[in-house]
């Protein structure tokens, strides 16, 4: 706190007496001794002026002397007695009372230098205290950045800001999504409005600071107050790089976890059960206990991935999530039944704004987890074709797509190449479009005119192409067995993805 006239009056070592009351809590800028008739040209305001009244011997009136000081809004006037029998002039007391300038009596045993020394001591102590407080503040901030858990680190920063400023603090990401806060939870619409305004007008809010990556706002740090003082603004500014450090660590951890989660799903799909089991253990998942797979189709993949990670935390679920193409793949530890996972999938769809989700059967251990993943992928694709919603694995019974997806990829590749490689070679050399023509014909159920219309060709052109297909493959399109083989070969292209 700054030194005030009240502080000096309360100091028994100085022995000052109040003669004219006024604003005794105004911070004193400095202590000056002046015997000039007009000291105002040398003042900046809020000084305590000490005088023995020598200016009176030069004919200066007390009212003129005081008025000159009041033009600079001095904090007060101290009148020093040179002899014990002296007294403060009544004219000076009256002038101070009229002009609203506090007046104190300085006894003969108190030299002016004692007052100056006491003021400097208090100023030094204050500055030393401010420096210690700033060092402690920065030390606490740095300690929060060292927190192994980024969420805990951000909460610590918010608590430190609250402690230092006396106001609630909050931290959001660039979109206004709340990451940490103290005090009353800020309104969500307010935070989003602040984020939008800061993007348009970067300096529009004195109680908010933005962390930027180039022109993009990555985080906002704010105080729940309208007018921030210099100290609060300094504390806000100091917190920005620390929040940036915490978020950078969080991004590094998250990106590593995402990469490892992607490798886990790849290991399971590749039937590398031993390596997958070790990876599951590192995630806190037990490969020897029931787990279930959920796959969700999403439009905004990166946003959905972050939403899914937060959904797992919010639901208190032990699991991992990764992104493959435009699908989220989740493995969740579950000791219940598949119907329980169906409920998870329904809430997941809302949390990540998924177009569809698929649920695999409950896998008793890691040996069955690949089947659950494949089922979930196929169920998700079925959900997309149906126009959205959640599909559970039981609805896949009897579907050839699931049968293909569960096969060894080398077997599928060999089967497909035996039938389709000759057609693909022919198309590459002659631009014959035999593969897409065959797919369109079989998809239509063997309807000639419908297929021709779909391909936008004459029906005779279609007949010529399909005759070429039979010639190249050695299969007949009027034979059901051959049609099934060709259709399954075409479907293996989809099952690969």
**Average pLDDT over every residue of 449-474:** 87
pLDDT on residue 70 = 92
How large is the average pLDDT for residues 114-139? 82
pLDDT recorded at residue 102: 95
Residues 6+ apart with CB under 8 A from 456: none
Strands (E), 141-215: 169-173, 178-181, 208-213
- pLDDT mean across residues, the chain: 84
* Residue 496: predicted pLDDT: 47
The class level of CATH for 146-251 reads alpha beta
Q: 5-120 — its CATH code?
A: 3.40.1390.20
pLDDT surpassing 80 at residue 387:
no
Percent of the chain with pLDDT over 90: 24
Of 3.40.47.10, 1.10.10.2840, 3.20.130.10, 3.20.20.100, the CATH number of 409-495 is 1.10.10.2840
Would you state the pLDDT for residue 216? 81
Closest among 41, 1, 49, 43 to 25, alpha carbons compared:
1
Look at residue 398 and tell me whether its pLDDT is greater than 70. no
Please give the pLDDT value at position 495. Answer: 46
Q: Give the pLDDT band (50/70/90) at residue 202.
A: low
pLDDT at 65: 93
**Could you tell me if 251 and 150 are in contact, meaning their C-beta atoms sit under 8 angstroms apart?**
no
Domains of the chain, residue spans: 5-120, 146-251, 284-399, 409-495
5-120 and 409-495 share one fold: no
C-beta separation of 355 from 308 below 8 A: no
**CB burial readout 461-496, b (16+ within 10 A) else e:** ebeebbebbeebbebebeeeebbebbebbbbbeebe
Q: What is the pLDDT of residues 49-86, one digit of tens each?
A: 999 999 898 889 999 999 999 999 999 999 998 888 88
C-alpha dihedral (49, 51, 56, 62), degrees to nearest 10:
40
HSE-up of residue 169 (Cα within 13 Å, Cβ side): 26
Kindly report the backbone phi and psi dihedral angles of residue 329, in degrees, each rounded to the nearest multiple of 5, phi listed first: -115, 120
Q: What is the model's pLDDT at position 401?
A: 52
323-375 residue pLDDT tens: 988 899 999 988 655 457 778 888 888 888 888 888 888 889 898 899 889 88
pLDDT, tens digit, 9 for 90 and up, residues 401-458: 544 544 556 656 676 777 778 888 888 888 878 888 888 888 888 888 998 888 898 9
pTM: 0.52
> Cβ atoms within 10 A of the Cβ of 242, count?
23
Stretch 234-256: mean pLDDT, rounded? Answer: 84
**CB 291 within 8 Å of CB 332:** yes
The CATH T-level fold of domain 284-399 is: Alpha-Beta Plaits (3.30.70)
């Amino acid at each position: 706190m700054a030194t005030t006239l009240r502080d000096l009056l309360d100091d028994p070592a100085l022995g000052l007496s109040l003669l004219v009351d006024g604003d005794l809590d105004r911070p004193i800028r400095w202590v000056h001794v002046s015997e000039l008739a007009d000291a105002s040209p040398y003042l900046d305001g809020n000084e305590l002026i000490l005088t023995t009244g020598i200016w009176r011997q030069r004919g200066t009136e007390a009212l003129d002397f005081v008025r000159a000081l009041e033009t600079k809004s001095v904090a007060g006037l101290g009148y020093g007695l040179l002899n014990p029998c002296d007294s403060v002039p009544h004219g000076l007391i009256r002038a101070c009372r009229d002009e609203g300038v506090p007046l104190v009596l300085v006894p003969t045993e108190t030299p002016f230098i004692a007052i100056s020394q006491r003021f400097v001591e208090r100023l030094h102590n204050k500055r030393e205290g401010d420096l210690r407080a700033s060092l402690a503040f920065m030390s606490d901030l740095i300690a929060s950045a060292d927190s192994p858990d980024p969420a805990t680190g951000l909460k610590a920063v918010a608590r430190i800001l609250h402690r230092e400023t006396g106001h609630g603090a909050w931290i959001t990401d660039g979109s206004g999504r709340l990451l940490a806060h103290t005090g009353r939870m800020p309104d969500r619409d307010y935070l989003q409005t602040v984020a939008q305004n800061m993007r348009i007008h970067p300096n529009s809010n004195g109680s908010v600071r933005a962390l930027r990556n180039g022109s993009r706002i990555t985080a906002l740090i704010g105080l729940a107050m309208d007018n921030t003082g210099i100290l609060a603004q300094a504390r806000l500014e100091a917190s920005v790089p620390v929040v940036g450090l915490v978020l950078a660590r969080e991004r590094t951890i998250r990106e590593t976890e995402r990469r490892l989660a992607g490798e886990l799903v790849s290991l399971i799909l590749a039937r590398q059960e031993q390596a997958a089991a070790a990876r599951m253990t590192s995630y806190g998942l037990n490969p020897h206990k029931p787990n279930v797979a959920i796959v969700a189709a999403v439009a905004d993949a990166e946003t959905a991935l972050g939403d899914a990670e937060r959904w797992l935390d919010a639901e208190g679920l032990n699991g991992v999530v990764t992104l493959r193409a435009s699908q989220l793949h989740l493995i969740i530890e579950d000791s219940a039944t598949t119907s329980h996972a169906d409920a998870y999938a329904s809430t997941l769809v809302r949390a990540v704004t998924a177009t569809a989700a698929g649920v695999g059967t409950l896998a008793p251990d890691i040996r069955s987890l690949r089947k659950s993943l494949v089922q979930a992928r196929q169920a998700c694709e079925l959900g997309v074709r149906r126009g959205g919603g959640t599909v559970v694995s039981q609805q896949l019974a009897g579907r050839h797509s699931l049968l293909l997806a569960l096969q060894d990829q080398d077997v599928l590749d060999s089967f497909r190449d035996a039938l389709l490689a000759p057609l693909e070679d022919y198309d590459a050399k002659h631009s014959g479009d035999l593969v897409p023509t065959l797919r369109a014909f079989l998809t239509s159920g063997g309807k000639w005119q419908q297929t021709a219309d779909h391909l936008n060709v004459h029906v005779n052109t279609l007949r010529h192409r399909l005759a070429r297909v039979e010639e190249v493959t050695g299969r007949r399109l009027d034979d059901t067995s051959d049609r099934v083989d060709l259709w399954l070969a075409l479907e293996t292209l989809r099952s690969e993805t």
